[in-house]
Amino acid sequence: MAKNTAPRVVAHLGRPETPEETAARKAVDSRNHRQRQTVSNLIYALIATLGLMIFIVLIVPRSDTPIEPIVDVAAVAQGASVSTGRDLVVPSVPQGWRSNAAELRTTADDIQAWYIGYLTADDEYIGLYQGFETNPTWVAERLNKTLAVGTVDIAGVDWTVYDNRKSSADVGNARYGLVTEVGDETFILLGSAEPIEFTELATAIAPSITERQGASS
């Protein structure tokens, strides 16, 4: 049977298509088909990307604990001791504590101090300052100009106590603090940890302080 090659009758024209109309219709159909394919491909790509992201989120281990730098206090102290010509304290802290800072700090009036920042096992902060040739203003600024409430003996060292835990004022990091002086050095402990944790740190540096007391007597 011979194939029917009669021109296609277009309903809205009421007559067969001309070759030009047929070519134009096919071109429009081809363009629409490509556009539909492009949109479909885009949707598939978005779905695949979203699925990959979900997969990565599910398989990558996560922790609620913030990532913090762990500082090698002894290594930093070794270099800082050379530049200061001072014997810098490097406490042996309780298990679970970590240091996130260790550095020499110098104020605008050229008072230099060795500083170590500790986080306790409960993620509470204690900062240790070993200041050289300090003055009352330097001490007051570290403790946010708060007032002493008494004294305490810890491992043979007398400390002045600053307890601002119940204060409604903004005392910054000076929620609790301990201060002692020996020779031309001032040691300050301050932060948000519990007094018992301050006692642990004060006990750790007590041998260094009593050694200085013996040398200066």
pLDDT tens for each residue of 9-33? 655 555 666 777 677 777 767 777 7
Say yes or no to pLDDT of 66 above 60. Answer: no
What token pair was written down for 36? 């539909």
* Dihedral (Cα; 183, 188, 194, 198), 10-degree rounding: -30
Per DSSP bridges, beta strands 112-119 and 176-182 are unpaired
Neighbours of 91 (CB within 10 A): 20
Query: What's this model's pTM, rounded to 2 decimal places?
Result: 0.69
**Which tens digits make up the pLDDT trace of 116-162?**
999 999 999 999 999 999 999 999 999 999 999 999 999 999 999 99
Q: What is the mean pLDDT of residues 68-72?
A: 80
Token pair 């609790």 is at which residue?
176
Listed residue (70, 83, 89, 53) closest to 205, CA to CA: 89
Residue 179 CB contacts under 8 Å (≥ 6 apart), including other chains: 139, 143, 148, 159, 160, 162, 186, 187, 188, 189
